Amino acid sequence: MKFAFVFPGQGSQSVGMMGKYKELPAIHETFSEASDVLGQDFWSLVNEGPADLLNLTVNTQPLMLTAGIAVYRSWLALGGSRPILLAGHSLGEYTALVAAGSLGFADALKLVRFRAQEMQRSVPEGVGGMAAILGLEDAVIEAVCHNVTARSAQESLEAANYNSPGQVVVAGHKSAVLKGIEIAKEKGAKRAVMLPMSIPSHCRLMKPAAEKMQQRLAQTNLRLPDIPVLHNADVQVHDDVDTIRMMLTNQLYSPVRWVDTIKAIAAEGVTHIVECGPGNVLTGLNKRIDRNLQYLSFFDGDTVNQARTVLS
C-alpha–C-alpha distance, residues 140 and 136, integer Å:
6
Number of neighbours of residue 146 by Cβ within 10 angstroms: 12
**CB under 8 Å to 248, separation ≥6 — which residues?**
93, 94, 213, 217, 231
List the one residue out of 204, 55, 48 whose CA is nearest residue 116: 55
Contact yes or no for 89/5 (Cβ under 8 A)? no
Helix (H) or strand (E) holding 13: none
Q: Which of 90, 122, 156, 164 is catalytic?
A: 90
Contact yes or no for 158/171 (Cβ under 8 A)? yes
202 is catalytic: yes
272 is catalytic: no
C-alpha–C-alpha distance, residues 145 and 308, integer Å:
45
Q: Which of 89, 173, 202, 231 is catalytic?
A: 202
CA distance to 132, 170, 183, per residue, from 135 (Å): 10, 14, 13
Give catalytic residues, as residue numbers: 90, 202
